[in-house]
Structure 1
Amino acid sequence: MSTLTQLPHASPGQAPVQSVNGAAVKLRVEGLGKRYGNIDALHALDLQVRSGELLTLLGASGSGKTTLLQIISGLVAPTSGRILIDDRDQTHAPAHQRDIGVVFQNYALFPHLTVAQNVGFALDMRAVSRNEAQRRISEALTMVGLDSMHQRFPRELSGGQQQRVALARCFIYKPSLILMDEPLSALDRKLRETMQMEIKRLHRETGSTIIFVTHDQDEALALSDRICMMHNGRIEQIDDPQTMYERPRTLAVARFIGISNVLEGKVLPGNRLDGADGNVALPEGHGAQANQSGALVIRPEHLHAVAAEQGALQGQVVDSVYAGVETRVVVRLASGNLLVVRRSGGDAPLTIGSRIGLEWLAQHARFLPA
């Protein structure tokens, strides 16, 4: 568990800057909750966002991620708890006083203003001098690769170019915290991947603290320093992408992040799990007691197809999806449970309708209690 400490370099007369595991904390959320009538959109939760990190709020629709972002931005008032930015209580501060930049899903560009005017709008609102504003607009447009398009209007730009304008407009005045609310969801896949790289580059070059909201697991894995996985208004797990993928703490996380093969059953003595699909080995150190219910989670890349009589499980190939570098094979077990096997593009194809066995190394599986 992360430890909260005090950094020694706080300025005299100011509250000391706090840290998590040695990194300064930009945002702290304490006991934050939101209730609409009898519905808890957010159950009281705690969250620390480190200075300079890109934290992704990930979850399905209704998980609470957008509600949390709206409360942080000041657009929605919380029912309980408080928000601290740079150790200053901002719970009831108006949105325009929070020094927060927001990049919206629909870009929110002014159609009657040029690219340069859109980018410089935030500086106009802050009464920045004309010469300084022109210099910063030029730097921001160069940073996002649009320096030659400063006189164009939004209608003359592609979706990706409009998103770059929105990013430049947000980064230009160097807000204390940047919130991005599913900013890439309207773009096609190829453009999304390009913009993901663009956001990572801007984050790396500016050192900004960014909270990024998405329901796209691949986007979260590609972008994040850490992922905050949300489910039913609660935080399920906060970890770096690799830990989140390889060591999910709950079944909700395992099912949402990547593809998971799930075998449910009861724990037997001798490190075994007994379920509808058979009796299989559990990984060492699973920590479960005999007769405890739970699920064994196995990622598709750890499953191997073998002859039917040799496998720990047997099933029938019901589908095969070619995806270039890999082929995803779907196998139906006797119980009706469907498992996915990820095979490299060079492996011999498996015939649909054929019976095969499935094997895996016990240490590559993860047991999660019910």
Structure 2
Amino acid sequence: MPVDRLLPTREAEDLLDLVREIADKELAPRVEEHERAESYPAGLFRLLGETGLLGLPYPEESGGGGQPYEVYLQVLEELAARWAAVAIATSVHTLAAFPLLTFGTSAQRGRWAEDILSGRLIGGYSLSEPQAGSDAAALTCRADKAPDGYRITGAKAWITHGGKADFYALFARTGPGSDGISCFFAPGHTDGLTFGRPEDKMGLHAIPTTSAFWDDALLATDRLIGAEGEGLQIAFSALDSGRLGVAACATGLAQAALDAATAYAHERTTFGRRIIDHQGLGFLLADMAAAVDSARATYVDAARRRDHGRPYTRQASVAKLTATDAAMKVTTDAVQVFGGYGYTRDFPVERYMREAKIMQIFEGTNQIQRLIISRQLAH
């Protein structure tokens, strides 16, 4: 059922109506087929780009939609309510565009921004490594200065859209210590770049997650984003926004689970009554609804702070923690509402439950979010 939202403008309301129409027409009918077959939805992201949904939070002068982050995140939520994997990949694309759009030179933005925001180029985010996930300062992938650019050598891991993306926001080491990491706008097809087989994941099957292997691959000098050594600053500022994207996707997934459970509780009867009329089940659904509404409130609050230029690092971590924990609980409870049927693939709630788990892990585990929040409180 459509969520009753408080949006800042009539234009935003019209946009969300359009997103629902696109999601119902293009995403909802295809999700089960691709998730079960673990097949990539070719052409779908180009369609999303053509309709303007891949550049919403970026300036219109760069080819974006010029929308507040508050609106963009609610768009992500609507996408996730139909197809979580596509919504997460859309969030990752926005995250991958952030370094270029925020720290790139005017020449770099002029060369690549329009293609990124129109969906002609789809992005991935390449920060994690096999031994360096949450500890980004421990990166070992190297970018050695060469007369004609940088030679990249090393392995990266857990790349959403790996092997499919047209570019990657790549973070590699140009010097020692935490000040020795730099950011690159790396093309997806480069001599010396190969990808591992897609990870055999619990959920989000339609979008591949892979490792990448750089073997003395050459990136031109103009592929460096910002100055050498600014990589961690760029990565961490991007991740604040990325965590809000995950929070919105988790909220959409939880909303889908709540809607499915509520609809089933209206139809299923026991002891001569609808199961929603039994207090034990009705209270469970009430708790699920409270969790979804609370999750939405946390990411909207953080987004409004971002839109007003106020610090929001703590609020982004709160939103990511709250929304993803809520999604895990709500999807688990949705399976319970369905009883034995919830444990089968005849209904989507078992998929929702599998998809929710990873959201507590990527873009910084929820244990890392608690660390960030506690450190913010200690200042």
- Which category describes the TM-score, using the shorter chain as reference length? under 0.3
- What TM-score, normalized to structure 1? 0.27
Larger Rg belongs to: 1
Normalized per residue, which structure has more helix? 2
Q: TM-score, normalised by structure 2?
A: 0.27
Would you tell me which structure has more strand in proportion to its own residues?
1
